[in-house]
């Protein structure tokens, strides 16, 4: 555990992975966008608006996975007090907030023509909005203290409390009547999406997750450099 959490070792590994992950991200976005905008057929009910699904659904998945990573990092930081876990949590929340914003906005842009409304307060939409505020709250809280460690702990507690929201988001469409449709891919009895539409969806999902990895590496490197800067500035003052 601590062997992999050593910052120097992390940097060496992350920097080796970065160019490959970056290239993969570019390729997946290229192929995914072409598939989503050109190759994919229109849907038998939604028509061309099915193309919005290719940017909306992966964003929602990445938003959920991002929160799961945030929660795991927070848990690791609270229990083992490992500084790198704190940095991973701090790196994850703005990325997660971005993906959640994409899911909310593209969902509204799909809802207006299809449902007939931009927004409703049903269980799915409301719980995803709460996810967005949890991310924003985490971003604010970790920087709200002069003592960075206290900020990290406060943020970690918030992140863990917010974990209850994850199953609520996932199962909201099964537990209650919602306007939002039930899951199409991760559902009992297998996916309900035709192959021609599954391929672009999976390409885009791969692209989002690869980008997630790239962003995490860049942001953790940033945070490590910031920590190093604080130490160096103190040392410069001493000289």
Partner 1 sequence: MGGYAAYIWPSYGFTALVLVALLISAWRTMRVRESEVERLRGLGADPRRRDGTSKDAV
Partner 2 sequence: MTQKPRQKPKMTRKSKRLVLIAGGLAFVGLAVALVMTAFEDSVVFFFSPSELAAKPTDPDRRIRIGGLVEDGSVSTGPGEGEVRFRVTDGGATLPVVYVGILPDLFREGQGVVAQGSLVGEIFKADEVLAKHDETYMPPEVAKALKEQGHWQEGAEGATKKVPGS
Query: Which parts of this chain interact with partner 1 (CB under 8 A)?
Result: 7-8, 11, 37, 42, 47-49, 51-52, 55-56, 59, 94-95, 98-99, 101-102, 105-106, 109-110, 112-113, 211, 214-215, 218-219, 221-222, 224-226, 228-229, 231-233, 235-236, 239
Crossing angle of the two packed helices 50-80 and 83-114, in degrees rounded to 10: 160
Based on CB atoms, which residue is closest to partner 1, 47 or 167?
47
CB of 84 to partner 2, least distance (A): 17
Residue 181 Rama label (left phi>0; alpha psi -120 to 50; beta): beta
- Contact, 181 vs 173, CB < 8 A? yes
Q: Is residue 45 a contact residue for partner 2 (CB under 8 A)? A: yes
Long-range pairs for 231-237: beta carbons < 8 A, 24 or more residues apart: none
Does 215 interact with partner 2 (rule: CB under 8 A)?
Answer: no
Question: Which of 150, 164, 161, 156 is closest to 75 using CA atoms?
Answer: 156
In angstroms, the CA 174 to CA 132 distance is 21
The correct pick among 75, 105, 145, 227 for binding partner 2 (CB under 8 A) is: 75
Q: Two tokens at 195?
A: 């192959």
Number of residues that bind partner 2 (CB under 8 A): 41
What is the contact surface with partner 2 in residues (CB under 8 A)?
41-47, 50, 53, 75, 78-80, 113-117, 120-123, 160-161, 163-164, 168, 176-179, 181-184, 187, 192-194, 196-197
């Amino acid at each position: 555990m601590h062997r992999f959490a050593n910052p120097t070792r992390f940097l060496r590994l992350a920097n080796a992975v970065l160019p490959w992950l970056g290239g993969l991200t570019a390729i997946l976005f290229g192929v995914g966008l072409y598939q989503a905008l050109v190759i994919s057929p229109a849907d038998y009910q939604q028509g061309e608006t099915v193309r919005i699904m290719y940017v909306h659904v992966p964003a929602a998945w990445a938003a959920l996975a991002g929160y799961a990573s945030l929660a795991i990092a927070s848990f690791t930081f609270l229990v083992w007090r490992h500084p790198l876990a704190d940095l991973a949590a701090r790196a994850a929340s703005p990325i997660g907030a971005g993906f959640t914003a994409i899911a909310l906005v593209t969902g509204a842009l799909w809802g207006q023509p299809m449902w007939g409304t931009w927004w409703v307060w049903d269980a799915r939409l409301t719980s995803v909005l709460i996810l967005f505020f949890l991310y924003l709250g985490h971003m604010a809280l970790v920087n709200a203290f002069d003592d960075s460690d206290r900020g990290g702990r406060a943020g970690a507690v918030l992140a863990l409390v917010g974990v209850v929201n994850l199953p609520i988001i996932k199962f909201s469409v099964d537990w209650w009547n919602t306007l939002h449709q039930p899951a199409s891919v991760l559902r009992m009895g297998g996916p309900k999406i035709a192959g021609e539409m599954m391929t672009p969806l999976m390409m885009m999902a791969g692209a989002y997750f690869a980008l997630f990895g790239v962003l995490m590496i860049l942001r953790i490197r940033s945070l490590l450099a910031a920590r190093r800067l604080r130490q160096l500035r103190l040392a410069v003052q001493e000289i």
